[in-house]
Amino acid sequence: MRKTTLILTAFLLAGCDDGMIQKQTWAYAELCISGVVYLRSPNGSLTPKINADFYPYTCQKGVTNNG
């Protein structure tokens, strides 16, 4: 019984290896287009950056690209 518990514990701990977890870092760039801040994803798609009230963030007119 004790040997079985030890073997099962070893298998469970081996299953928690960090190599199995995919770690991926996404870098989003912020762009200012027509006074609205947009987020550009690594694949090139754009989406407006919104706050908690679902209103888009605005940016200064002089800034054209800060990403």
Rg of the chain, C-alpha, whole Å = 23
Q: Comparing C-alpha atoms, which of 8, 9, 63, 4 is closest to residue 35?
A: 63
Structure tokens at 50: 């919104």
The CA distance from 53 to 17, in Å, is 40
10-residue block means of pLDDT along the chain (67 residues)? 80 63 74 91 90 90 55
DSSP letter assigned to residue 35 = T
- Residue 4's pLDDT is what? 85
Q: Where are the domains of the chain?
A: 26-67
